[in-house]
Structure 1
């Protein structure tokens, strides 16, 4: 009787459950938390200007059994995962090129890629294709090898002005990132390996010198070269004996 005389505004109300305590709230939290983490993580924003910015801590994220990060490293990726994406701005000596790194949000928001040599100075990563050795161009007083122009043309058609995906394995003595490289494809798995395809097209040989990197793909790279030899593709169509790029460089050093 007394309760009926108390105005409803003064009656004690049960607190309504929090939105995130409901099934809908839990599902929302589970879906949005990873997305927010990905969107705000520095890795999706940070741009590596040159190869010098790709430190051993950074390389550890990409290379299986690679250099261990320092105790102060903020790396959370296990070794051997991920790639650096960017745009190829120039092709250099037939098996290497320049990459303008474009992290995830730079691509989503369509940040402008510099177009002039002046703008690109100290803004690109020098990339060397891992596991392959293409015919040498003319330099250091040596003449160009046969098929060096064709090798460069093939690589230009494959990567120039395109989005490429690079897995850096190490930095060599010339400051280049020795890397596995992929480009987009219309067919599953929607990426094609440039290193393997260059060997299969017959415009390079398997690189076997000290310090060679294969990213666990040695057999695939070797079979690609053997296929090109057997089918006489690219430079293997020549009837003349071929001098490997390694032998060509050795002869130049002795001269």
Structure 2
């Protein structure tokens, strides 16, 4: 019968045939291509080199670098003058909260990058807080192009209208937000800036220019490192108009003063500094003798 012939042919295989068919004990078992063990241990690099993967990687890296650059340039708070980089001068502005006004032409600014759009002033964790704790965390600002009358200090008497200039500046910017455009760092570690304050939401005014209009400052007359931010002509015209109107430090003596023979003698802050410096020099020379 046919099935008996097949059975006899299977049993008639030689021992050599069986040995060739049996796998060797010292060789790994054979697995056909595409088996699950081979796919498990194999890295398919085509997933990483596809155009979609490369494009996604480039976009993610570029977006990360842009965000880091944006944060460092516009959103990182500058705690003091030592953190100001030279590349910021004449290119960027500083928006911040005025914590103190020390003289008629300088003050301290707490930098608030991003302004009110990022919550400064109205979010609880974005408020300057206790002003006493801000020492060493503010930037000293010197207003560019103007020179206010001097206050009494180091044993020197105050100039006329020195206190008036200080009071006006305090009432204008103290505990308010202003924007300063920095030009350079001076010898007293202050940043020379043109300073603006916002009025009626959409309008801004130059604080130094207003002081000149009120007769509470003169145009800065130092021989070196003078900065006007391109507004020297405007500043000088404002000072000239204040002189013509005889307001502030340019006003005439009153009736009683005229009866007593008083005459208007205006000493500019620059002349005052030069005179007192000369007196100090002569005084030291006299004491040394």
Give how far 1:182 is off.
Answer: 0.1
Which residue of structure 2 lines up, in the alignment, with residue 88 of structure 1?
A: 98
SS where residue 92 of structure 1 aligns? strand
Q: Do residues 213 (structure 1) and 227 (structure 2) align?
A: yes
CA contact (8 A) 2:110 2:137 kept: yes
CA contact (8 A) 1:38 1:44 kept: no
CA radius of gyration, larger in:
2
Give the Cα separation in 1 of the matches to 2:88 and 2:74.
Answer: 14
CA contact (8 A) 1:97 1:126 kept: yes
Which residue of structure 2 lines up, in the alignment, with residue 252 of structure 1?
A: 276
Give the Cα separation in 2 of the matches to 1:122 and 1:107.
Answer: 25
Aligned 1:159-198 pairs, distance under 5 A: 159-186=173-200, 190-198=203-211
Give the Cα separation in 2 of the matches to 1:202 and 1:97.
Answer: 19
CA contact (8 A) 1:93 1:152 kept: yes
Aligned 1:126-137 pairs, distance under 5 A: 126-137=140-151
CA contact (8 A) 1:45 1:105 kept: no
TM (norm. structure 1) is 0.73
Give how far 1:163 is off.
Answer: 0.5
Residue by residue, what CA displacement relative to the aligned partner does 1:189-221 show, whole Å, maximum 9, x if unpaired? x11000111101110000021211011111111
Give the Cα separation in 1 of the matches to 2:70 and 2:180.
Answer: 23
Which residue of structure 2 lines up, in the alignment, with residue 22 of structure 1?
A: none
Q: 1:46–1:205: structure 2 CA closer, same or farther, 3 Å change rule?
A: same
Residue by residue, what CA displacement relative to the aligned partner does 1:14-38 show, whole Å, maximum 9, x if unpaired? xxxxxxxxxxxxxxxxxxx9xx969
Give how far 1:52 is off.
Answer: 1.7
Which residue of structure 2 lines up, in the alignment, with residue 18 of structure 1?
A: none
> Which of 128, 136, 140 is residue 122 of structure 1 equivalent to?
136
Residue by residue, what CA displacement relative to the aligned partner does 1:129-167 show, whole Å, maximum 9, x if unpaired? 100000000112201111101000110011000110000
Specify every segment of 5 or more residues in structure 1 that has no aligned partner in the other structure, as ranges.
1-32, 64-78
CA contact (8 A) 2:95 2:115 kept: no
Specify every segment of 5 or more residues in structure 2 that has no aligned partner in the other structure, as ranges.
1-62, 121-125, 254-263, 280-289
TM (norm. structure 2) is 0.65
Give how far 1:40 is off.
Answer: 5.1
RMSD: 2.1
Give how far 1:57 is off.
Answer: 1.9
> Which of 80, 88, 113 is residue 50 of structure 1 equivalent to?
80
Question: How many matched pairs?
Answer: 199
